[in-house]
Structure formats: C-alpha cells, structure tokens
Amino acid sequence: MKKKSIVIVDDHLLFAQSLESLITKLEEYEVLAILKNGKELTQYYMHKRKVPDLILLDVKMPVMDGIQTMQWLKENRPEQKVLALTMEDDEDTIIKMLRNGAKGYLLKDIHPENFEFAMKMVIEQGFYYSGKIENALRNSENVDDSGDFHERLTEKERGFLKHACSELTYRDIAEEMGLSPKTIENYREAVFKKLEVKTRVGLVIYCMKNKLIKID
C-alpha cells in the first residue's frame, strides 16, 4: 500500500518535528514537509512540489495564520484535505476553520490514537467530526451569524481602538492621534454601535475576545 503523504504547517518546530516522528512511526504515512506558516505553504505549492494527501494545519501562527491559510486554500486548492490542529478550543475559531473548508478539527490534547483515526477519516472519508465540533456547529446554526462586527470598522476607527484599550482618556487619545476630542468622540460612538458595546470596558473586552489587540 502506498504511503499517505502529509505536510505539517506549524510554527512550533519542536512540536512539528515531534509530530513527524510520531506520524512516521505509524508506517502508513510519510511527512513531505514541515512548514512554519501559511506563507510557506503557498510557496510550497508554487514550487510545484508534490501535493500532499493531507495538510495538518495549525491555527495560531505568525505571518499567515490558519484562517488566512484556509481562505487561500479555498481559493486556490479547494480540493486539498486539511485537518486543523490547535491548542485553541475557541468555538468561533473552529467554526471559521470549518466554514473555510477544513475537513476536521483537533485539539492538540487529543489522544494519539484518535489523532490517527482522524487522519485516516479525513483522507479516506473526507471528514472527521469530534463531539466538540458538533457542538460548535450546532451552536453556530442557532446564532444569527452576523459575522465579525469589527470587520466593518474604518481605518480611523481601528486606530482609535488601539488607543482605547489603555488607560488613556479620550482627551489623551485625541492628542495622540492629533485630532479634536470631539472627533474621537465620534469614533467612540460609531465603534460602540458597530461592535454593539455600551461602555469602554465592554469595548476592551470585545477587543480581547477577538484578539484585536495584543497584550504584552
């Protein structure tokens, strides 16, 4: 039997190479390449390298993350089978990945036997659904999917957002941005409406939830 080919896309080199060891041990699979992000995956395709039977795709990556990568694949390689693999058990992320064509979704704390089963399922049957995913999908059906509010923000509003997630007053922000406090006030009101928050604290929490702002 011919070995199934796999490409791993994950910025955690140690994990990726460890995973390679594990997969190689399974005999039925071979790892064609380990790539650090979606960008490298697009380059992999451009060099007309062998198309893998399956891509193991991490979600949280620098440069080009899992969701961006799925969007690119949807456009350019819609037939590519992808198993998303991540630490995040954030439902929104799961849904987004599946919406963009991922055939299955695994958390990295999965038991290796299930992992093997999931790979097999996606390659042979075209999909793998775990209990968690079914939950996520069921929940998402009920939710009137209005998408990400923040995608409708203007550039200026996004700029305001960055400053709003701090201890600056609106007056400070106005100075920082070289604008009138009243203009900032307009941004605030617009952003509040678009993101459906009622207070600045609500705004900050929205940003955190949706990882619009990096905290470190």
Partner DNA sequence: GGCCTATAGGGGGAAAATCCCCTGGGGTTA
Partner DNA sequence: TAACCCCAGGGGATTTTCCCCCTATAGGCC
Residue ranges binding a second copy (CB under 8 A): 11-15, 17-22, 24-25, 85, 87, 90, 106, 108-112, 115, 164-167, 169, 197-202, 204-205, 208-209, 215-216
- Is 44 or 115 the residue whose CB approaches a second copy more closely? 115
Which one of a second copy, DNA, none interacts with residue 48, CB within 5 to 8 A by kind?
none
Contact characters 108-147, DNA, x per CB under 7 A = ----------------------------------------
Of 8-16, 22-30, 76-84, 197-205, the segment contacting DNA by CB under 7 A is: 197-205
The binder of DNA chosen from 76, 135, 139, 180 (CB under 7 A): 180
Question: Binding DNA by CB under 7 A: which of 108, 110, 183, 213?
Answer: 183
Binders in 159-178 for DNA, by CB under 7 A: 169-171
- Pairing relationship of beta strands 4-9 and 82-86 according to DSSP bridges: unpaired
Give the CA diameter of the chain. Answer: 70
Give the 3-state DSSP-derived string for the chain, with helices as H, strands as E and coil as C. Answer: CCCEEEEEECCCHHHHHHHHHHHHHCCCEEEEEEECCHHHHHHHHHCCCCCCCEEEEECCCCCCCHHHHHHHHHHHCCCCCEEEEECCCCHHHHHHHHHCCCCEEEECCCCHHHHHHHHHHHHHCCCECCHHHHHHHHHHHHCCCCCCHHHHCCHHHHHHHHHHCCCCCHHHHHHHHCCCHHHHHHHHHHHHHHHCCCCHHHHHHHHHHCCCCCCC
- In the complex with DNA, the residue whose CB is nearer, 31 or 174, is 174
Query: Is 48 a residue that touches DNA (CB under 7 A)?
Result: no
Judged by CB under 7 A, the stretch of 12-20, 49-57, 64-72, 194-202 that binds DNA is: 194-202
6, amino acid identity = I
Residues making contact with DNA (CB under 7 A): 152, 154-157, 169-171, 179-183, 185-186, 188-189, 192, 198-201
